[in-house]
Structure 1
Amino acid sequence: MKSTLRIKKINGIEYWYEDIPYYDTEKKQIRHRSKYLGKNVNGKPVRVRDAVNSNEGMLLPSSKPLKAYNYGELIPLQKIIEELSIGEFLGDLLNEKDRNMALAIAMNRITRPVAMYNVRSWYENSALFLNDPELPLKSQNISKLLDKIGDSDIPSTFIGKMLRNLGTNRTLMYDLTSLSSHSQLINLLEYGYSRDDPELPQINLSMVLDKDKGIPVMYDIYPGSIVDVTTLKNTIKKIEAYEVNDYTLVMDRGFFSTGNIEDLLHEKIPFIMPATMMLKSVKELMSLAQKDIESPEYLHKFNKKPIFVKPVVLEEANFKVNGYCFYDPKREVEEKSTFYSRLYDVKEHIEKAKIPAWRKAEDVFKERARDMASFYSWEIVDNHFTIIIKKNAVSQRINRMGKFILFYNGERDWMDCLTVYRERDVVEKGFKTMKKDIQSLPLNTNKDSTTKGFIFICFIGLMIRMRLLKMMKETGIVEEYTVESLLLELEKVRKIEMQNGEVIVTEITRKQKDILAKMELCA
């Protein structure tokens, strides 16, 4: 029985296989086994590891590999750039060299974020180098590009093109964060509380996400404080200018105040905002609601779990706003466990502290107790604290656990209100990704324009990365891989530049083939 050669096409690439027939003595029939021979190169099978040798075992100068380039991790990113028309829109706003630089830096923020002066080294090891080896990615050139972008209307024009292309016109998620900076020279910076580093000044940043597509479509930068919603009006005007009319401000507790709510209602701005217990009227509303919130008439299910929902109305002198009081039994159990554990740990931490003779005991107590200070009283015995837990304070805190109020403006039932608010997590994860995975922090730029340009590049990187995560969820790959582990697996696929000028792709493993097939990608 003679073997035969055949070509198999997998993901658009041709491979040679030898079909070997053999006789199966158990089943008493002729069967076939397939043996991989190599990739089809000019009508012949070529294995990458054998490409350097001839049939006689002699090294052939014409087939000697010169260099290997990282390639596989770029495959999904380049598809997304094409799918979202990112390269096309940047090409409308920048010359070809600047566009390629911007895309290269954005992809670097996703695959292996490095300082700007190291981007060139990363690029030279990337398959992108094969297409444009002369790309001027020195740190000085990058600074000039960021300055050019930040000192122009390129970011806003790009956002407008993206919104029109995506057809974004439905509910948007909206949230705010701060980006800390080492620089002292940027006018955009403010000093105060920073989520990332209390010692550093920060830039305030907002972000808008397309709920359906799960990607950021707009951002805005704010100088100074943003706890007053009047600061957000310019962003709202921009959203409306892009012909996006069905939007919702999903805000955090920092915005909750009678003045902000009154302003939002007066401007007829749709919003969802959680309440704080700072206002006496809200405390009274919560106390009234929790008396009968466990009544069967308020019982519902959310994500297959029981939850109690009671409509409430907050009435103040100048406005009336609707809301829902929620009671989540499962959340109550989790919050109690976390709280009691922390209550004990902080008490133990304070009691271990020896009070230095030169320090005030009250200062030492506050330093160690921090936000838990209201739950303790203390005495001093032998230069150590004796801590007593305040029962009433703890009881008041425990009674509110698992319960929260969401106020809203617009036509929303409780399910829609809670769902939209919970989906705010997507925005928060986007910020976390920008800060940690894309490594936008801490900012190390010295001009407003270069800072704005850098944030724009990080925004493009975030768009691509969040779209990749969305694709992974849609194909089920997210059950096996994180974004990082998927990119690491694909990174093993490389392009090899041969001495004769030919470029070949290394063999693709079964894992890599599975990823590429599920995501409909071609190597």
Structure 2
Amino acid sequence: MKPFIRKKKIKGHEYLYEITPYFDEISGKWKQKTKYLGRNIDGAPVRKTRIPKTGGVYDFGQYIPAHWAIREYKLFEALLSCFSPEEVSLLLVLAINRLILPCSIRQVNSWLSGTWISHLIPGVIADPISIFQLLHTISNRPVIGLFSRMFSMINNFSDKRIIMSGRVTDYSLFKGSRGEGYSYKDLLEGDLGIRMIYDPELRVLTGCEMTDIRRNFIEESLSIISSGRIPGGILLPNWDYFSPVLIQNLASIGYPFIIRPDITYDPARTTIMDWDEHTSPGIECSYMGQPCFLKECTVLVGYVPVRGYILHNLKKEQKIRYVFEKNLQNIQDMIIQGENDPASLTELIFEVAGMEHEFFIPVFNNKGVKRNQKMITNEIRRLSRSLVMFQGDFSWEECFLLTDARWKIERDIFSLYRDFKRDLEGHQTERIKMGMLFICFLSVMMKTFILKRLGQAHLEGILSFDALITELVPIHVITSPHPLVVPAKLSRRQKTLLSYFGGIPAV
């Protein structure tokens, strides 16, 4: 028999079914097969569209700039000169993790499974054993220098290089001032020294070298300079225990350098304090959009005179003066409210003011205190002025911009390294610390590439790395069952940003 259509009315709605009669030979009776066709709309069956099952939702947008940096600067190809493809994939994934969302190595696999990175960088095995093996490999094989040379060869960088030296250590652990140097015992703690190669024209990192700080850091630096291994190089060291000796050596051989000394270093402090703007006002200038006064000077390092610039930031001085005066007033009020026994007044000032006791003078006759205006003026002057020393043909702006860039890079690398070491708490890190530091360096290197590109976009309100990542976080990939980027319609700002980073990678 032929099939026919049957209508059923359920709760006021009419539905259509296809009925197919058939003969059941076992029972010897006629039976029916029923097939639902849909709701009756104007005589035609209409069924609801089935929503496809979502296979997964993956973070995607915030990782697009890092993926662009890897492709644009051929990081994968440069690393292949030192590592296997599996090691390169894991190395880049760890660098992205430390840059975007750092986590313990036990959680790297969980983090990776929630992102689309494993599809962009395939072949990643991110279990703790593989990570420790990679860190050990980096720390015990001469691969870092080889990578830096290969990376410079395959990229179109300028001919100028800045050799930025740094020391990975926590300065807060030392009570002594940096300018006076660290004790010999502190220098034997196994801290790492790092030389970062920086392109001043493109404002990006191009490589690095690492060494144990217990080795002769000065002789190594001078050896690299004299060998000409880094042509067109200018040394920009951090201020450290070795710096006064290093500066004298560099001055004697006539090698160009720029350095910002610690303000507690006696020759630097004396030079800054001796500048009286009333008798020698200096030159009006603008630095980073802020009004300043500039003064050329000469600093005597040992017996060697070194040229320098002093920059007095007027806006910074106003902020310092406001906060400083407010703190001093609070301390003075607390002292006045305290016990005014003349015999214990000095002790009370020291107890309440602490390290700032030198800004107050006890007045025993009135059982009170007055402020030491000379000390206050000197302190504000010290905090609002910066000094750079240099040898070579450099403008004042070059000196301060480069020293600021070096400080930011060293700060970022140390911050990532400190967090990495915290995430490995409970593990022995002495033999893998160079591997940890190299991964942090790769992260900061990617960041310099991304920030350079972001600066070319000139987007209002998107001036920092964090602002860029925040703007791209809402972009995800869903599998349903085929990969699909959501939201389907991106904002105009997101589209503009992604256009500077190669658009959305194929999913």
Alignment TM-score, normalising by the size of structure 2: 0.72
- Over residues 206-235 of structure 1, what are the superposed CA-to-partner deviations in whole Å (9 max), with x where a residue is unaligned? 453322222233445454589xxx724424
In structure 2, distance between residues paired with 1:170 and 1:394: 43
Pick aligned residue for 2:164 from 144, 150, 174? 174
Distance, in Å, in 1 between the alignment partners of 2:205 and 2:353 is: 39
Q: Are 2:248 and 1:269 aligned?
A: no
Q: SS at the partner of 2:432?
A: helix
Q: 1:69 and 1:317 mapped to 2: Cα distance?
A: 60
Q: 2:181 aligns to what? A: none
1:171 to partner: Cα distance: 4.6
Aligned to 2:405: 426
Q: CA deviation at 1:380?
A: 10
1:165 aligns with 2:165: no
* Residue 494, structure 1, aligned to residue 476, structure 2: yes
User: What is the aligned counterpart of 1:373 among 357, 361, 365?
Assistant: 357
Question: Are residues 1:465 and 2:447 paired?
Answer: yes
The Cα of 1:122 is off from its aligned counterpart by 0.7
Residue 47 of structure 2 aligns with an amino acid whose one-letter code is E
Q: Which has the larger radius of gyration?
A: 2
Q: How does 1:301-320 map to 2 (within 5 A)?
A: 307-314=292-299, 318-320=303-305
Deviates more, 1:275-284 or 1:451-460: 275-284
In 2 relative to 1, CA 380–213 (structure 1 residues): closer, same or farther, beyond 3 Å?
farther
d(CA) in 2 for partners of 1:399 and 1:66? 63
Whether 1:154 aligns to 2:143 is yes
Alignment CA distance shift 1:331-1:109 (3 Å):
closer
How far the C-alpha of 1:263 sits from its partner, in A, is: 2.6
C-alpha distance in 1 between matches for 2:314 and 2:121 = 58
Aligned-pair identity in percent equals 16
Aligned CA distance change for structure 1 residues 386 and 210 (closer, same or farther; 3 Å) = farther
Structure 1 residue 143 corresponds to structure 2 residue 116:
no
CA distance in 2, matches of 1:177, 1:254: 11
1:510 is matched by which residue type in structure 2?
S
Q: 1:436–1:223: structure 2 CA closer, same or farther, 3 Å change rule?
A: closer
Partners of 1:80 and 1:464 within 8 A in 2: yes
SS in 2 for 1:272: strand
Distance 2:448 2:338 in 1: 45
Residue among 230, 234, 239 paired with 1:247: 234
Say whether residues 1:390 and 2:377 are aligned partners: no
Query: Is this contact kept in 1: 2:89–2:123, CA < 8 A?
Result: no
Aligned to 1:504: 484
Alignment of 1:322-401 (within 5 A): 322-347=307-332, 369=353, 371-377=355-361, 387-397=369-379
- 8 Å CA contact 1:173–1:210 kept in 2: the answer is no
> 1:321 deviation in Å?
2.5
Partner SS for 1:114: coil
User: For the structure 1 residues 454 and 299, does the alpha-carbon distance in structure 2 shift closer, same or farther, using more than 3 Å as the test?
Assistant: closer
1:196-207 mapped onto 2 (5 Å cutoff): 203-207=191-195
Report SS of the residue matched to 1:73.
helix
CA shift for structure 1 position 115: 0.9
Secondary structure in structure 2 of the residue aligned to 1:264: helix
Q: Quick one: which of 78, 90, 93 aligns to 2:79?
A: 90
Measured in 1, the distance between the counterparts of 2:446 and 2:85 equals: 20
Which residue in 2 is equivalent to 1:3?
A: none
Distance (whole Å) between structure 1 residues aligned to residue 348 and residue 136 of structure 2: 47
* Counterpart residue identity of residue 170, structure 1: K
User: 1:59 is aligned with what amino acid?
Assistant: R
Which residue number in structure 2 is paired with residue 479 of structure 1? 461
SS in 2 for 1:447: coil
- CA separation in 1, counterparts of 2:199 and 2:220? 19
Paired letter, 2:191:
I
1:126-141 matches, within 5 Å, as: 126-130=115-119, 135-141=124-130
Q: 1:402 to 1:138 in 2, by over 3 A?
A: closer
Greater CA drift, 133-142 or 81-90: 133-142
- Report the residue type matching 2:466 in the other structure: E
**Closer, same or farther: CA 302–503 of 1 in aligned 2, 3 Å:** closer
Match of 1:215 in 2: 204
Distance 2:260 2:408 in 1: 19
Structure 1 gaps, min length 5: 1-54, 182-189
CA distance in 1, matches of 2:298, 2:136: 50
The alpha-carbon deviation at position 435 of structure 1 amounts to 4.4
* Deviation by residue 1:390-427 (Cα, 9 ceiling, x = unmatched): 23323444566755543321233xxx134322332223
Partner AA of 2:404 in structure 1: D
Structure 1 residue aligned with 2:4: none
Q: TM-score, with normalisation over the residues of structure 1?
A: 0.70
Structure 1 range deviating more: 286-295 or 206-215:
286-295
Structure 2 stretches lacking a partner, 5+ long: 1-45, 178-185
Q: How far apart in 1 are the matches of 2:310 and 2:431?
A: 45
Is this contact kept in 1: 2:68–2:502, CA < 8 A? no
Give the direction of change, closer, same or farther, for the CA distance of 1:260–1:448 in structure 2 (3 Å limit).
Answer: same
Q: Tell me the residue number matched to 2:47.
A: 56
RMSD: 4.2
Q: Distance in 2 between matches of 1:59 and 1:428?
A: 57
The one-letter amino acid paired with 1:68 is V
Counterpart code for 1:483: F
C-alpha distance 326-253 of structure 1, shift in aligned 2 (>3 A)? farther
Taking the aligned partners of 1:323 and 1:131, their CA distance within structure 2 comes to 49
Check 1:163–1:338 CA distance in 2 against 1; reply closer, same or farther (3 A cut).
farther
CA contact (8 A) 1:210 1:216 kept: yes
Looking at structure 2, the residues matched to 137 and 73 of structure 1 have their Cα atoms a distance apart, in angstroms, of 20
Q: Do the aligned residues in 1 keep the contact of 2:64 with 2:501 (CA within 8 Å)?
A: no
1:454 and 2:436 equivalent? Answer: yes
Q: 1-side partners of 2:381 and 2:240: how far apart?
A: 20
- Separation of aligned partners in 1, 2:497 and 2:437: 31
Q: Provide the C-alpha distance between the structure 1 equivalents of 2:410 and 2:117, rounded to a whole number of angstroms.
A: 28
Contact 1:173 1:250 in 2 (8 A): yes
| Structure 2 residue identity aligned to 1:178 | V
Once residues 396 and 380 of structure 1 are traced to their aligned partners in structure 2, the CA distance between those partners, rounded to angstroms, is 25
Out of 100, 103, 122, the residue aligned to residue 111 of structure 1 is 100
Aligned-pair CA distance for 1:323: 2.8
1:111 is displaced (CA, Å) by 2.1
Counterpart of 2:59 in structure 1 is 70
Pair 1:216–1:316, CA change in 2 (3 A):
closer
Query: Are residues 1:321 and 2:306 paired?
Result: yes
Which residue identity lines up with residue 423 of structure 1 in the other structure? L
Partners of 1:171 and 1:210 within 8 A in 2: yes
Asked if structure 1 preserves the Cα contact closer than 8 Å seen for 2:109 and 2:127, the reply is: yes
Distance in 2 (alpha carbons) for counterparts of 1:79 and 1:193: 43
**Using the alignment, how far apart are the partners of 1:487 and 1:265 within structure 2?**
44
Higher relative contact order (CA 8 A, sep 6+): 1
